[in-house]
């Protein structure tokens, strides 16, 4: 039986306020789906990084990790940096399945939501 976990993966910033939206997504999942184990991870400038967040999940028995790129599009970080990090994780943890979703900003539901928010004040 597999035990799933989710990592919300974002760029990172030294400004602690920048992290608030990512952490709000984490809190929302934790509140509405408490059975899911979720961690935030950052590419640079703050911690934890992806290996640290995955290690926390694996220490809790997680053996199927879905990495959710919290990016608006597939830029260099999602196209190059993230796959390299996940390849290294797969090599170091062959008993764990790692799945990388498309960036959240490319989901048609997110596109529709952003369009709605952008046009809301002009109505």
- Reported as a pLDDT band with limits 50, 70 and 90, residue 31 is very high
For the chain, give the mean pLDDT.
93
Mean pLDDT along residues 90-113: 95
**Whole-angstrom Cα distance, residue 41 to residue 68?**
10
Q: CB within 8 A of 26, min separation 6: which ones? A: 8, 38, 39, 40
Residue that the structure tokens 């170091």 belong to: 92
> What pLDDT is stored for residue 15 in this prediction?
93
Number of independent structural domains in the chain = 1
Catalytic residues: 11
According to the model, what pLDDT value does residue 123 have? 56
> Which tokens in the block code for residue 19?
């992290």
Q: What is the model's pLDDT at position 74?
A: 77
Secondary structure (3-state) at 36: coil
At 73 the pLDDT is 76
**CATH number of the domain bearing residue 90:** 3.40.50.1400
pLDDT at residue 5, rounded to an integer: 97
Enter the tokens of residue 103: 């960036």
Length of the chain: 123
Domain that holds residue 45: 4-120
Whether the CB-CB separation of 11 and 71 falls below 8 Å is answered with yes
Q: How many CB atoms lie within 10 A of CB 21?
A: 11
The Cβ of residue 106 has, within 10 Å, a number of other Cβ atoms equal to 15
pLDDT digits (tens, 9 = 90+) for 49-95: 999 999 999 999 999 999 999 998 777 777 788 999 999 999 999 99
């Amino acid at each position: 039986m597999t035990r799933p976990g989710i990592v919300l993966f974002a760029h990172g910033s030294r400004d602690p306020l920048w992290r608030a939206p990512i952490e709000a997504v984490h809190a929302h999942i934790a509140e509405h789906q408490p059975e899911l184990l979720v961690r935030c991870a950052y590419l640079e400038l703050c911690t934890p990084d992806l290996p640290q967040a995955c290690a926390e999940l694996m220490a809790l028995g997680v053996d199927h990790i879905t990495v959710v790129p919290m990016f608006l599009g597939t830029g260099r970080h999602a196209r190059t940096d993230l796959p390299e990090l996940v390849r290294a994780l797969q090599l170091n943890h062959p008993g764990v399945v790692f799945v990388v979703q498309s960036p959240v900003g490319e989901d048609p539901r997110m596109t529709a939501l952003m369009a709605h928010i952008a046009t809301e004040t002009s109505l």
